[in-house]
Amino acid sequence: MLQTTDPAVVDGFLTDASNVRGSAEAVFRVSTTEEVAEVVRMAQAEGVPLTVSGSRTSTTAASVPNGGWVLSMSSMNAIHAIDADRATADAGVLLGAFQDEVERFGRLYPPDPTSRHDCTLGASIACNASGARSFRYGATRRWIEALDVVLPTGEIRHIRRGDPIPADWPRPRWREPALKSAAGYAAHGDWIDLMAGQEGTLGVITRATVRLTDLPAGVLGFVAWFPDRATAVAAMRTLRAAARATPHGALSPRCIEYFDRACVALARERWGEAPDAGAALFCEQEVEPAIGEATHLEAWVDALADAGAWIDDTVVTTDDAGRARLHAFRHAVPAGINEQVARRGMPKVGTDLAVPDDALDAMMTRYESAPVTAVLFGHLGDNHLHLNLLPTSPDELQRAKSWYDELAHAAIALGGTVSGEHGIGKLKRHQFAEMAGPAALAEMRALKRHVDPAWILGRGNLFDR
């Protein structure tokens, strides 16, 4: 274990992708679960807040310390075992590197947050991360089989899927939205489900065993262009209905991603192949061996043409090089947004809301009435879109933040969630409080207080003390 109070070193741990800046007095770099437990016990004994730090890709300031110490997991990065059904690795391993090793073994670990090549396995579990493939595979929580966890007391526990939450722990009883969500403590399932999504407040995840599935025989990629939002959304509903009816059929996408007209314009500037369309869908289809590539392609071309896509402009790929080209389109959009943010000299305000199927159109209409320049894209198949508000002045920034709160209020009223995949962290606590309600929030605080009476771990995440 290495400890430093060098301000130059500590400074590198005071912010994350949220650009919020915190404070800390020391950083501990740990290499084993036992060292983690030692630091946790020290923090408890001295009453010092302890914030777990992976690679600081959080957009919610979850890894920004509110004083005290930082626990760096970056040295805990070993992959211990991969077999046909499961893989085990330390929490500090980069998720993308872990997945690459799994795929070299001929298997697939499906969760795919956009930051997967930069974020750590443990952090992705702690916030129940998901990504585009969650349309087919769901979020991280369902793929976890076992965890090594250091509790706030410093006790080391190895928990397995099916292990019950300790009988003396208060249980948060609240009605979670029946959709893709990464907000608050799980009110269902077992101990694993509770630890996946607790954002470093109930324990430090040090090692994980995850479930694997078949690596697809191939993946087809599509970028389809549409005259307007309504046509693209109608096409999505056709694709989604087919996937729900026959999950491994000829038309069974693993992701359905949306891009509005502003996104298409950004892609045209950077990617160079986009027509002047009103909207676009990026989709992927895993090749089912019993069906075959040709049948998949025929089903997709027919479905897109019937849905009103500009079929002559549709980009279809069947190999890795082609898929890389389509992913370049997908990543051209956030890259273009970041360039605009840099030019404007003001931070963007990005939403992470998701709503039920029957509320999607109402929510998209709200998105399109943004009071400042905005770009809309994201996981349309899950009704989980990211509106990026791009202010040009302090007044517009404040207007954008207020608008975000109004959108969150609307999503809650429609039965949705204030976080589809990024978690709550420190930035969405007020929105989460509205979503959960005072009774559920009191029960979550009671659980936190029981497990961590001194409120050492993850102070400031999810809710205040």
Q: Is residue 51 part of a domain?
A: no
pLDDT at position 362, please?
Answer: 96
Task: Quote the CA–CA distance of 210 and 192 in Å, as a whole number.
Answer: 11
Domain CATH number, residue 320: 3.30.70.2190
pLDDT at position 340, please?
A: 81
For residue 334, report the phi and psi dihedrals to the nearest 5 degrees: -60, -35
144 assigned to some structural domain: yes
Phi, psi for residue 139 in degrees, rounded to 5: -85, 180
List the pLDDT tens digit at each of the 465 positions of the chain.
Answer: 888 998 999 889 898 888 889 999 999 999 999 999 999 999 999 999 999 998 888 888 899 999 999 999 999 999 999 999 999 999 999 999 999 999 999 999 999 888 778 889 999 999 999 988 999 999 999 999 999 999 999 999 999 999 999 999 998 888 888 889 999 999 877 999 999 999 999 999 999 999 999 999 999 999 999 999 999 999 999 999 999 999 999 999 999 999 999 999 988 887 777 899 999 999 999 999 999 999 999 999 999 999 999 999 999 999 888 888 888 888 878 778 878 877 878 888 999 999 999 999 999 999 999 999 999 999 999 999 999 999 999 999 999 999 999 999 999 999 999 999 999 999 999 999 999 999 999 999 999 999 999 999 999 999 988
Q: What is the pLDDT of residue 383?
A: 97
What pLDDT sits at residue 201? Answer: 96
On whether both 267 and 358 belong to a single domain, the answer is no
CA atoms within 13 A on the CB side of 272: 1
Sole residue written with tokens 């690596």: 215
Nearest-5° Cα angle at 376, 233 to 186:
85
Number of other CB atoms surrounding residue 308 within 10 Å: 16
On the 0-12 / 13-18 / 19+ scale of CB atoms within 10 A, 417 is buried
Helix segments in 283-416, DSSP class H: 293-307, 320-344, 360-367, 394-413
Domain end among 309, 336, 363: 336
Domain match, 197 and 294 both: no
- Does residue 387 sit within a domain? yes
Is residue 95 within 8 A of residue 74, CB to CB? The reply is no
- Give the domain CATH number at 390: 3.30.70.2740
Tell me whether strands 315-317 and 219-226 are parallel, antiparallel or unpaired: antiparallel
User: In this structure, what is the dihedral angle of CA atoms 332, 337, 342, 345, given to the nearest 10 degrees?
Assistant: 170
d(CA 448, CA 457): 9
Domain that holds residue 134: 82-167+183-214
Same domain? 190 vs 140: yes
Residue for token pair 């676009």:
280
User: Do both 258 and 372 map to the same domain?
Assistant: no
Q: What is the DSSP letter of 417?
A: B
Say what the pLDDT of residue 57 is: 84
Instruction: Encode pLDDT of 298-311 as tens digits.
Output: 999 999 999 999 99
Reported pTM? 0.93
CATH of the domain at 195: 3.30.465.10
The number of domains in the chain is: 3
Domain membership of residue 295 (yes or no) is: yes
Backbone angles phi, psi at 137, to 5 degrees: -110, -10
